[in-house]
Amino acid sequence: MIPERNFLVGRTSEKERIGLISNIEELITKGERIIYRLPKLREAMETFPLDELEQTGKRRDKLELLELKRQYILTSYWAPSLQREEID
């Protein structure tokens, strides 16, 4: 943390600081496994088979990539004189 950018200076009590430090240490220690503490994620993991979740994730990743490519093409080649049909 950059001390000059610490927005918590003077805004937390000693007890709150100790709790925050404890939470941050837990986040660092558990790494990406910490997300399994989220109730909705845990519920999804228990409801759906792992391979179905993986396929859904891959499908979502492909859709997001296609959307990013669409936005790139739109911003790269769009000209104010083009009609909406030409852009699409």
Q: What is the DSSP string of 20-71?
A: HHHHHHHHHHHGGGGGGGSHHHHHHHHHS-HHHHHHHHHHHHHHHHHHHHHH
pLDDT at position 86 = 66
Threshold 0.85, pTM exceeds: no
CA separation for the pair 28, 12 (Å, rounded): 21
Per-residue pLDDT of the chain in tens (88 residues, 90 and over written 9) = 677 787 877 888 889 989 988 988 888 888 877 877 888 888 877 887 878 888 988 999 999 999 999 888 877 776 666 666 765 6
Looking up tokens 């993986």 gives: 54
CA separation for the pair 4, 21 (Å, rounded): 18
H/E element, 79: none
pLDDT at position 1 = 63
pLDDT at position 87 = 59
Q: What residue ranges do the domains of the chain occupy?
A: 1-47, 50-88
